[in-house]
């Protein structure tokens, strides 16, 4: 098969990406604009993300996938090959053509709300309803995580009664929540992240999050975008979690940072044109290692110097909570460039 034929097959599959995922990655599930599953071989889990909508090619294309745990990525032809255990490309192409000729079940029509659940419009509406962080349960939550001064640059708000639905069949609940704005490189809001909080306060079991199955969820258009703490120019630090990056901001309060919200999204963040050095705040787990490897490769290809900074414990918030701010400052100081210590680090008096 000629490469042009393979590209056309991949494009046709991508136009029906959700049906492809439901058929070949049946142990996963749809989450907003993505299909999540354990890996390309249809293992249960959540480390692999498939984009369900987008352009035919280029950044954000439909059908493109990334596995944060392994750093694998590809298109829907790769999904067919791996999930079916096919060795030769001829067999992959035949299976793809067979799938494309299958009749499609007609979806049950449902009323479409003006701002669909999980859309960027719904995220903007939620952000508009939330209030400033100061004096709220969300600010108290951050303090219990060791973050005494939240250098969040306006990226965080609080909602006292944020809707939470465990699944599509369960009744809606309301919990207080910390709301984070997800923005693109121009600062336009594309999504929102919710951390539902326990009104009863902090425990070691929940770390202050609500006692529900998934106390963190994101909505909107996330791929390539992030929660941004400060405007990046030539230097930027990037990591997964909001609390992780705010912990680093406690000792590097003027260093621009982004929280990508997951390992998969960290590996796909978009770089500002002016960026010359990227600090990658690594989480000490397999998914974090996979995201780090992908991000290093992408940065080097873009002519950006990547520098990995690692926590002593599981992540930088653990370092802050369990070891203290002075220890975190020392951990960071020996890992960042000397000129950035002078430029960004808040040194102890």
Each residue's pLDDT tens digit in the chain (349 positions)?
A: 344 578 888 889 999 999 999 999 999 988 777 898 989 999 988 888 898 888 877 767 889 998 877 778 899 999 999 999 998 888 898 899 888 885 544 444 444 444 455 688 999 999 999 999 999 999 999 999 999 887 888 999 999 999 998 877 778 999 999 999 999 999 999 999 999 999 988 887 788 999 998 899 999 988 899 999 999 999 999 999 999 999 999 999 999 999 999 888 898 899 999 999 999 999 877 777 888 888 999 999 999 999 999 999 989 999 999 999 999 999 999 999 999 999 999 765 4
- What's the pLDDT at 117? 54
Q: Round to whole Å and give the CA distance between 230 and 154.
A: 9
Q: What is the largest CA-CA distance in the chain?
A: 70
pTM of structure:
0.69
DSSP 314: S
Task: Dig out the tokens for 225 from the structure.
Answer: 């975008």
**Residue 258 host element (H or E):** strand 257-259
The pLDDT score that the predictor gives to residue 59 is 66
Cα angle at 118 between 116 and 122, to 5 degrees? 65
d(CA 68, CA 283): 12
Q: Residue 102 has what pLDDT?
A: 57
Domains along the sequence of the chain with CATH: 3-100 (3.90.580), 118-222 (no CATH), 224-349 (3.40.1360.10)
Angle at 139 between CA 138 and CA 141, to 5 degrees: 60
* pLDDT of 157: 97
Phi and psi angles of residue 45, each rounded to the nearest 5 degrees, phi first: 150, -165
Pairing type for strands 277-281 and 227-229 reads unpaired
* Beta carbons of 121 and 115 less than 8 angstroms apart: yes
pLDDT on residue 54: 82
Which residues does 314 contact at the CB level (< 8 Å), separation at least 6?
283, 284, 285
């Amino acid at each position: 098969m000629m490469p042009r034929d393979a590209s056309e097959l991949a494009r046709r599959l991508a136009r029906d990406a959700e049906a492809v995922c439901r058929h070949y990655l049946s142990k996963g599930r749809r989450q907003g604009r993505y299909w999540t599953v354990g890996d390309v071989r249809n293992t249960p889990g959540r480390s692999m993300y498939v984009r369900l909508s987008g352009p035919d090619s280029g950044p954000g294309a439909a059908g493109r996938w990334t596995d944060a745990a392994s750093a694998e990525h590809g298109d829907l032809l790769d999904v067919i090959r791996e999930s079916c255990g096919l060795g030769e490309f001829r067999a992959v192409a035949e299976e793809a053509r067979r799938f494309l000729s299958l009749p499609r079940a007609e979806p049950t029509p449902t009323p479409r709300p003006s701002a669909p659940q999980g859309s960027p419009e719904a995220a903007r509406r939620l952000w508009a309803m939330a209030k400033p962080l100061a004096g709220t349960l969300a600010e108290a939550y951050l303090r219990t995580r060791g973050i005494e001064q939240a250098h969040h640059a306006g990226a965080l708000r609080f909602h006292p009664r944020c809707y939470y639905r465990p699944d599509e069949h369960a009744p809606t609940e309301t919990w207080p929540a910390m709301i984070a704005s997800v923005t693109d490189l121009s600062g336009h809001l594309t999504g929102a992240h919710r951390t539902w909080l326990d009104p009863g306060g902090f425990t070691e079991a929940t770390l202050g999050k609500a006692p529900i199955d998934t106390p963190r969820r994101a909505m909107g258009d996330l791929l390539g975008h992030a929660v941004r703490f400060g405007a990046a120019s030539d230097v930027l630090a990037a990591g997964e979690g909001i609390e992780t990056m705010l912990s680093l901001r406690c000792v590097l309060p003027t260093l621009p940072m982004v929280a990508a919200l997951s390992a998969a999204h960290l590996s796909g963040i978009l770089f500002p044109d002016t960026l010359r050095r990227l600090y990658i705040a690594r989480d000490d787990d397999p998914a974090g290692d996979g995201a780090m490897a992908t991000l290093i490769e992408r940065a080097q290809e873009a002519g950006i110097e990547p520098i990995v900074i690692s926590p002593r414990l599981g992540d930088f918030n653990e370092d802050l909570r369990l070891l203290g701010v002075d220890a975190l400052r020392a951990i960071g100081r020996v890992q960042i460039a000397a000129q950035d210590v002078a430029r960004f680090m808040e040194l102890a008096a």
